[in-house]
Structure 1
Amino acid sequence: MKLTLIALLLLFNVVMPSLANDEIAAFRRTDTGVSIVYQGLPTSIDQRVSLEVIADGIIHVASAPLNSQAPVRKSLITVDTLRSMASDWTMEAIGDTLILRTATLLAKVSLRTGVVDFRDRHDRPIVAEQRRDSRTFAADAYDGDAFYRIRQGFRVSENEGLYGLGQHQNGVMNYQGRQVTLLQYNTMIAIPFLLSTKNYGILWHNYSITKAGDIRPLMPLSAFKLHAADGQQGWLTATYRDRREPEKLWLTRPESDIAYLYLSDQHKLPQEVDLANALVEYEGKIESPYTGLHRLHFTYSGYVSVWVNGELKEDRWRESWNAGSFEIDMPMVAGEQHSVRIEWRPDGGQAYLGVQWQRPISESDKTLFSFGSEAGDAVDYYFIAGNDMDEVIGGYRQLTGRAPIMPRWSFGFWQSRERYKTQQELEDVAAEFRKRRIPIDNMVQDWSYWREHDWGSHDFDPERFPDPEGMVKRLHRNNFRVMISVWPKINEASSVYQRFKDKGWLYMRNIYDGRKDWIGKGYTSTFYDPFNPEARQGFWELMNEKLYKKGFDAWWMDASEPDIHSNININERKSVMQPAIGSSVRYYNAYPLENARSIYEGQRQTDPNRRVFILTRSYFAGQQRYAAAAWSGDISSRWHDMSDQIAAGVNFSMSGAPYWTMDAGGFLVEKRFHRPNTDDLEEWRELNARWYQFGAFLPVFRAHGQFPFREPFNIAPEGHPAYNSMLYYISLRYRLLPYIYSLAGKTYVDNYTMIRGLAMDFGDDERVLDINDQYLFGASLLVNPVTEKGATSRTVYLPKGPGWYDFHGGGYHAGGQTITAAAPYERMPLFVKAGSIIPVGPPLQYTDEKPPKEITLLVYAGADASFTLYEDEGTNYDYERGQYSTISFTYDDEGRQLVISDRKGNYKGMLKNRRFNVVYVDARQAQGFDNAPRKAKAITYSGKEKRIAL
């Protein structure tokens, strides 16, 4: 029997909207969405586009070339249990448009071009793709792995805020119009998730190094028309002097490009110059062929100061082995000259400096946000919509996994230093905390507890750590927990090297290259391969045998990028990394995800009901499901680095990853602080006091860094303002534990975000979209770190709303205004949103010192308020089985009534009876927390509803 074309199409469920129009793609409905084939159309590249409905607000989109033969690959990002959970969805074709409709979302697909246009259920636009063209897929290969270089643009609104994308050190909050490099690197974290104030997110489902935003290539300095100091055209004048004797001139030469970015670039610098003692100056003028906003991108180490038209724009420092970055915005007119002066003082044997720039964005591209990845099989992303940004993050975690609740002790104070060199040092410091009654829960043993050559063995040096198991037991008896540093790195001289090599668990290229690390005489080393399931299991078994069985409580997964060697270029890093499942180019950014997986799955298999805590320097999409917190890497102990951490941490949190921290005090320290004069010593103390104030309002509060030692009593003597401030904020942290731990519970139960950009709660207030030096800790506390030396006040924007209360000193301010807030040395401006309930516990020396039988409820009037107190046992996973309790507090502002709800749930050891002391704060009596306490209403509570008139 001969079948007609129409019969064939019907047989295979293929639909042609109009048989008379051969310029429209064919499509077919699938069990979860639709598959569309574009072939031979003048309006589209040849491609297969699929849309998969995951949930009412989540649609998975993929587009691949028709000739693509890529195998089906298991996702590392999404959870194994991911299934379509949409309540219902429909598909219809109207003319040349295919409409996929869920209860909350429309996806309109052009059957001519393949463009997907996302709209809300009322058909109002949210965001749309840019049409794919010949640049979308560029065939490429690496190490026998065939793939495409991928790019995809999205048309966004000019007035929306764009956030997330991991952690970056440029001080930028809103990525509208910016370029962001998604790359795992010390101080940089790549999470390919974009979050918008229009209440949508895009999870870019790709593991390779990716540019996001304005992805046009950066231009070299020489793309400007350059003018030397004497007016000659074509270069800047570079002068190399002896900074010990500045009048001593070593060398003057023309330089058209400043591109000393990696170790491999060091030969470009003048070999006859002693860079460690050099003062280098670049002088001249730059001229652009374009009119508009230019951005200068700097990479640097040592001391760098930049003047533009005589105005100092940046003054920075970074240690030589860990280059930093910053950007300078420059409005320029084509043909107009701008004087530039760069002063560079390298601070070590290696020297890094690079200058690149981005030309102005064209008008047509100002609403374009793109992703450009080095390797992939397809344009592949998940679109997530919600009623607010919390719902969008909830969708992200539906795809990539919930964040477990960290153990309660992890929300106490952590003390670390670059390392405790002996077990006696560590135990003495712990004892001093208890002696001085400074609250603390956690001590940290950083690296090099092993014998010099034995990196990777996890064996302790018996001379310096003769009894590590006994050390842990003694610390436990004194109510401490202990975190220990574990690197994914193994020396060739290590006692475990041969075992890992024989099993094929190591990346061997670095061994054969002979590249040595910086310890002692230098040792060749490499990293294990967590993409290999057997290697993951073997790595955990080594940790279990050598460390977990000794009682260590938490894991510090350092150098998890992996950091093969600081400042080698990215191509060298790729050549060393050889994942078992594919090429390094394809999987480069996913290393920290699989590394965390090895520890989380290993510990839960070994000890299923004891909570895992992992601190890691790098992080990728989905890593929150492995009980991982991130810290911001080896930042410098400078005011500018403290300031940059605000936007870095907030954007990390808005990437769907809830647990973030930093080295309070900064890690890398200028030599002037090693043996400080009086002024430098006082600056050091002030810097640390301000950093502790900031650190107290993060999910993890941890002090760490190179010498000088970072314990409060080693920073300043008792009675000094710095000491007083550090003690105050550590103590306040413990008083706020009911608030903080409830936020952690909400993070698991409701997919909440603890560190919140102002746009999350005040997205309708356009003034908050770009604010990069304030954030919310929970919905109630507005945190405003002080990041300028000697400041005793700072400007604070109070978002629109019912008003704000000064937490410390009292006082009420209307919302929607900028104020100059008092910032005395010992206090940071901290405001409470009107319409808040904040539970405050008793003073504690450690988190489990005593049960919170009495909690003070601070009720801030001015709007209705609610808060849910979350409690569980604190150390196990019984909460995953529903064993926890919640008590909801609801305040009606008009009726001035507080309702304490019936308690819901229970768990072993739950307090049956307790007392709530209710303190009412309103604009007429806006008393601060530091003032003499107002009379409270004492409420006895046994689990049944209470109504209190205020």
Structure 2
Amino acid sequence: MKRTTIYQALLVVLLFVSCSPKQYEKTANGIVLEFDQNDDTETKKLLVSVLGEELIHVSASPEKEFPKDSSLIIVPKNSTVPFTVDEQGDSILLATKKLNVLISKINGGIKFKDKDGNLILSEKAGGGKTFIPIEVEGTKGFTTRQIFDSPENESFYGLGQHQSDEFNYKGKSEELYQYNTKVSVPFIVSNKNYGLLWDSYSLSRFGDSRPYQQLGAIFKLYDKNGEPDDLTGTYTSSDNNTQTLVRKEPSIFFEDIKSIKNLPQDFPLKNAHITYEGEIEAPETGEFKFILYYAGYTKVYLNNELVVPERWRTAWNPNSFKFSFNMDAGKRVPIRIEWKPDGGTSYCGLRVRKPQPPNEKNNQVWWSEMDKKLDYYFVHGNSMDEVIKGYRTLTGKSQIMPKWAMGYWQSRERYNTQDEILGALKGFRDRKIPIDNIVLDWNHWEEDQWGSHEFDKNRFPDPKEMVDSIHAMNAKMMISVWPKFYQNTEHFKEFDEKGWMYQLAIKDSIRDWVGPGYIGSFYDPYAAGARKLFWEQIYEHYYPLGIDAWWMDASEPNVRDCTDMEYRKALCGPTALGPSTEYFNTYALMNAEAIYNGQRNVAPNKRVFLLTRSGFAGLQRYSTATWSGDIGTRWEDMKAQISAGLNFAVSGIPYWTMDIGGFCVEDRYVSAQKHYDENGKENADYKEWRELNTRWNQFGAFAPLYRSHGQFPFREPWHIAPEGHPAYESMLYYTNLRYRLMPYIYTLAGMTHFNDYTIMRPLVMDFPLDKKVEHISDQFLFGPSIMVSPVYEYEARNRDIYFPLGSDWYDLYTGEAIRGGQTLNVDAPYDRIPLYVSSGSIIPVGPEIQYTDEKPADTLIIYIYKGKDGKFTLYEDEGVNYNYEKGKYSKIEFTYNDSKGTLSITKRQGTFDGMIKHRKFIFVTVGKDHPKSFINNTEGNTIEYDGTAQTLKL
């Protein structure tokens, strides 16, 4: 026994010696460690760099040298931050003023702690890193994985914008890639006040490193008669010649243009009813995670329970929905999928994951398909706002969007002629509906000239006059510019001769959906010269017209809809930097750089505005907003946008919007157009269409950007409902309210730059001590003061609202007070969305205007909500240029002391051209004992303000 103990001790010593670092070296901004590892998949070299007192960069490689590359998302900084390095037993302590980073000498495992020794984040025991060699197109790299421990009470937010209506990602997973309606940003923020930025550009996964698998790869399958190995598929046609086909289904996988060939050939899917049924038997007990891929109308039943109520998506743009189900080993569970395809081509799939392995379950897991090394950035702060500030310190400041972009935008797929777009804008002006921006969507060129940037003269005879006329009506114009070029255009040839066009779409003669179908492809923005040429073509053809903003559509890039993942990667590569497998997710970022830098070079003082359908970490530095893509026109789609927008906001990119009303329209809403008249006669579908758009506009008025867009039916308010109809009147009310709130809203825009602020805020950001808000995904704060609770169910006239602890809440419309810390069912009439204001809020309200710069806000009504001390700093600048970068802006701070009932106004800080030097402030106080409605109050303390400090008793 004694000899055995000696041998064991010797073995431990030998293991320690073989795994301990050969050396560690202190560098100017961190330390480098080297390890003798026997396994080629483990860390051999580790770099821990100090980028800020609470910003740490970790790089790891299974090779002895790091590759010489640079990050696409990180903005280099030359500043050095003081830190110390000490040895503590089997660890090395790297310490800044605010953080202690402990690195294991044995395996490089890292723990992040605060200065009081409290653990913030820890890599999994042993370091949690895995490297698997991969080679693509002659380029070598690694499939990487990193696991961190996560306590039970942790919550995760961010990851970009996804459509499964998930909010808190604790215990959940998300596959990170770019696709229409899906925007992946590899950044999460924890309720433990840290963030993790994963610096990888390839297909990635968060929460679970495993792919979903076919049902038959996990379960034993039984058809509806109990026979093993398959489910039963029953295909019934509803055409004139009714027919039924029954066949065995070894999987439910018809998810792309390749796999749908496995559907019954020559069977008419249009108007068909399809059922997949039988039983599934699990190999183990636990929670199985399913992902449903659907186009058309789809339901899923498990164990004879409806687990996925009917969902719909248009045929050409499927969606995914995730759900879980607990199963027992060896027990058969009935399964039934009901599918009604939407059109002649449609998609359906159901895949699954087994219960997650213990080392990953409920932990923080990152996986990427191809990296040169493993890279992540740890960001700490005292609040989620501070964490997002750290993220922007790493990836770049958000720009202040032009003031007009904070107003209302009208778009349509699409204005077909010059007269149509001008007529639509005139319709707003004639009806006195405020608007700032009108948008010209795709196909304004001749049919076979996509990418020419030239207008079809038959439909747009004088583009310069069109833009000038829009400006004459005091509006701006945005135009759709794709990174797509037909091969017959001169622009394609300019890229092609330099090797800057993706070639596979040309080689495979892929034809798009326009007319007879035309062959083209996308340019490669990873080449600096290609980015420069892309802007030069825009500058030559569009810029001289005076166009104000750029709509970068299909920037995933979406070379072809509904392809399998491997073909999708092949179509968008190889890039100038390497295989598309490695650079799969950053196309939109590189494309945005092309426009932003291009315009700032030719017009350094004109604010850039980009809207893009995709995005990535760092997008905010290019003055770029993102919208949620071609979503469906369903109530569940509207609800999903709330959580999608909130997680996108927490991902550090403050400007987000959506197609109000949804883009892809169910046939029932289109056909309903034929069955109503302007006197208000409605069929059931058109009645629902009007209410859907009403509720969506009520929500959209409180998104960072307020924008209506979609396929037919037309989305201008008078096309949705006539004047006097409650739908029309509600849309008019909220558009006017948005414009009256412009001093508040534009201040929020300024704060995104100067304070790294987030406009659309999940409640967990402002009420971190209230644990009930960690899962609330259907309420949010618009700025610091206004709580928005969208109504997303048809014919709902009330809804439950949670009022967070730590504040009293005032009904915006009545001023009635509600105590925080309770859930109440509140009224939500057709024409109103529940809006509440937190105590201590100060909200400036401007004049009624038809566009953002119609008249100066020389009189402001300042609402003060009693119950807590409050502060608001009014921000103003010139609204259209970059003079704010040179210090040309003003700030006026209002501070309310609740116990004294006083309001202090500071001396105005700063100045700019056109600044209002003398103005009137009307102060309206709202309290429990004196409720007052919003907007229409003008009775209160009134002062003349000339920029000097004042204090008044309210």
TM-score range, shorter-chain basis?
over 0.9
- Would you say the 8 A contact 2:108–2:127 is kept in 1? no
Partner of 1:942: 946
2:525 to 527, 530, 536: 530
Question: Who is 1:509 aligned against?
Answer: 504
Percent of residue pairs bearing the same amino acid type: 46
Q: Contact 2:922–2:938 at 8 Å: present in 1 too? A: no
CA distance in 1, matches of 2:156, 2:526: 32
- Report the equivalent of 1:8: none
Partners of 1:309 and 1:249 lie apart in 2 by: 29
- After superposing the two structures, state which structure 1 stretch, 144-153 or 433-442, moved more: 144-153
Indicate conservation of the 8 Å contact 2:295/2:314, yes or no.
yes
2:929 corresponding residue in structure 1: 924
TM-score, with length taken from structure 2 = 0.95
- One-letter code aligned to 2:24: F
Indicate the residue corresponding to 2:634 in structure 1: 638
Residues in 2 aligned to 1:90 and 1:786: alpha-carbon distance in whole angstroms: 53
Matches within 5 A, 1:18-417: 23-25=19-21, 26-40=23-37, 45-67=42-64, 71-80=67-76, 82-86=77-81, 88-131=82-125, 136-222=130-216, 223-244=218-239, 248-312=242-306, 313-362=308-357, 365-417=360-412
* Alignment partner, residue 619 of structure 1: 615
Mark the CA change 1:524 to 1:22 in structure 2 (over 3 Å): closer, same or farther: closer
Partners of 2:877 and 2:336 in 1: CA distance:
59
CA distance in 1, matches of 2:712, 2:195: 42
Compared CA separation, residues 401 and 692, structure 1 to 2 (3 A): same
Residue 270 of structure 2 aligns to a residue whose secondary structure is helix
Say how many residue pairs are matched.
Answer: 929
CA distance in 2, matches of 1:43, 1:522: 50
Structure 1 residue 817, shift from structure 2 partner: 1.2
1:516: Cα distance to partner? 0.7
| Contact residue 866 and residue 925 of structure 2 kept, 8 A | yes
1:250-283: CA deviations, max 9, x gaps? 2111213101111011210011311122110122
Q: Aligned runs of 1:893-908 on 2, under 5 Å?
A: 893-908=898-913
639, 643, 658: which is aligned to 1:647? 643
Q: In 1, are the aligned partners of 2:303 and 2:334 still within 8 Å (CA)?
A: yes
Shift of 1:238: 1.3
> Would the alpha carbon gap of residues 745 and 874 (structure 1) be closer, same or farther in structure 2, given more than 3 Å must change?
same
Distance in 1 of aligned mates of 2:714 and 2:437: 16
Match of 1:757 among 759, 762, 773: 762
Does structure 1 residue 656 correspond to structure 2 residue 652?
yes
Structure 2 equivalent of residue 737 of structure 1: 742
Question: Partner letter of residue 265 of structure 1?
Answer: S
Deviations, residues 570-600 of structure 1 (Å, cap 9, x unaligned): 2112212221111111111111000000000
Mean Cα deviation higher: 494-503 or 430-439: 494-503
Structure 2 Cα separation of the partners of residues 20 and 368 of structure 1: 27
Q: How far did 1:701 drift?
A: 0.4
Alpha-carbon distance between aligned partners in 2 of 1:44 and 1:756, rounded to the nearest angstrom:
41
The answer (yes or no) to whether the contact 2:34–2:64 under 8 Å persists in 1 is: no
Residue 458 (str. 1) matches residue 456 (str. 2)? no
Q: Which runs of 4+ in 1 moved over 6 A?
A: 17-20, 41-44
The residue matched to 2:684 in structure 1 has which SS?
A: helix
Q: CA deviation at 1:42?
A: 9.4
Structure 1: tracts of 5 or more residues without a match: 1-16
Q: How far apart in 2 are the matches of 1:917 and 1:448?
A: 49
Please tell me whether the aligned partners of residues 98 and 111 of structure 1 are also in contact (alpha carbons under 8 angstroms). yes
1:64 alignment partner AA: S
CA–CA distance in 1 between the matches of 2:863 and 2:906?
17
Distance in structure 1 (CA, Å) of the matches to 2:778 and 2:274: 32
Q: Secondary structure at the match of 1:424?
A: helix
Classify the secondary structure of the residue corresponding to 1:584.
coil
- TM-superposed CA distance for 1:217, in Å, is 2.6
Q: CA deviation at 1:18?
A: 13
In 2, the alpha carbon distance for the partners of 1:844 and 1:157 equals 51
* Cα distance in structure 1, aligned partners of 2:500 and 2:652: 31
Task: Summarize the Cα distance change of 1:43–1:512 in structure 2 as closer, same or farther, 3 Å threshold.
Answer: closer
> Any stretches of 5+ residues in structure 2 without a counterpart?
1-12, 676-682
Summarize the Cα distance change of 1:935–1:46 in structure 2 as closer, same or farther, 3 Å threshold. closer
Q: 1:319 deviation in Å?
A: 0.7
Q: CA 1:920/1:318 → structure 2, altered by over 3 Å: closer, same or farther?
A: same
Q: Residues 104-161 of structure 1, C-alpha deviation per residue, up to 9 Å, x if partnerless?
A: 1111001012101011111100111124689711111111211111111111222111
Which moves more between the two structures, 103-112 or 280-289?
280-289
**Aligned mates of 2:942, 2:519 — CA distance in 1:** 65
Structure 1 CA distance for aligned equivalents of residues 386 and 941 of structure 2:
36
Partner Cα distance (1:331, 1:807) in 2: 44
Encode CA deviations 1:656-710: one digit per residue, 9 max, x unaligned.
Answer: 1010000001000011111215000110000000010010001110000000001
**What residue is the counterpart of 2:805 in the other structure?**
800
Q: Which residue of 2 aligns with 1:596?
A: 592
Q: Hey, what does 2:580 align to over in structure 1?
A: 584
Q: Which residue of 2 aligns with 1:933?
A: 937
What does residue 9 of structure 1 align with?
none
Structure 2 residue corresponding to 1:836, chosen from 819, 831, 841? 841
Task: Judge which range, 18-27 or 838-847, deviates more.
Answer: 18-27
Once the two structures are superposed, what CA deviation does each residue of 1:615-635 show, in whole Å capped at 9, x if it has no partner? 000001111100000000000
Q: Do the aligned partners of 2:181 and 2:613 also contact (CA within 8 Å) in 1?
A: yes
User: Partner of 2:258: helix, strand, or coil?
Assistant: helix
- The aligned residue for residue 5 of structure 2 is none
How many angstroms does 1:924 deviate by? 2.1
Q: Match of 1:814?
A: 819
Alignment check: 8 A CA contact 1:604 1:612 kept: yes
Q: Does the 8 Å contact 2:254/2:348 carry over to 1?
A: yes
**Conserved? CA contact 2:291–2:350, under 8 Å:** yes
CA shift at 1:331, angstroms? 2.8
For residues 683 and 21 of structure 1, the distance between their equivalents in structure 2, rounded to whole angstroms, comes to 72
Q: What CA distance in whole angstroms lies between the structure 2 residues aligned with 1:416 and 1:389?
A: 34
Q: Distance in 1 between matches of 2:450 and 2:944?
A: 56
Query: Quick check: 1:857–1:919 contact (8 Å CA) kept in 2?
Result: yes
Stretch of structure 1 that moved more, 495-504 or 130-139: 130-139
2:559 aligns to what? 564
Q: Which residues in structure 2 correspond to 1:866-881 (within 5 Å)?
A: 866-881=871-886
Residues of 1 paired with 2:14 and 2:397: CA distance? 45
TM-score of the superposition, structure 1-length normalised? 0.95
Match of 2:752 among 722, 733, 747: 747
How far does residue 900 in structure 1 lie from its aligned partner after superposition? 1.1
Q: Deviation digits for residues 190-246 of structure 1, max 9, x if unmatched?
A: 111111111111111111110111222323212223333233333322110013579
1:628 to 2:628 alignment: no
CA distance in structure 2 between the partners assigned to 1:510 and 1:881 by the alignment: 46
Q: Structure 1 residues 291 and 764 mapped into 2: Cα distance closer, same or farther (>3 Å)?
A: farther
Output the CA distance in 2 between the equivalents of 1:413 and 1:155: 45
SS in 1 for 2:733: helix
Tell me which moved more, 531-540 or 309-318.
309-318
**CA–CA distance in structure 2, aligned partners of residues 292 and 40 of structure 1:** 36
Deviates more, 1:516-525 or 1:888-897: 888-897
Is the CA contact 1:45–1:134 (under 8 Å) kept in the aligned structure 2? no
Q: Structure 2: how far apart are the matches of 1:46 and 1:745?
A: 44
SS of 2:325 mapped into structure 1: strand
Query: 1:497-531 CA deviation, whole Å, 9 max, x = no partner?
Result: 22221222211221111111110010111011111
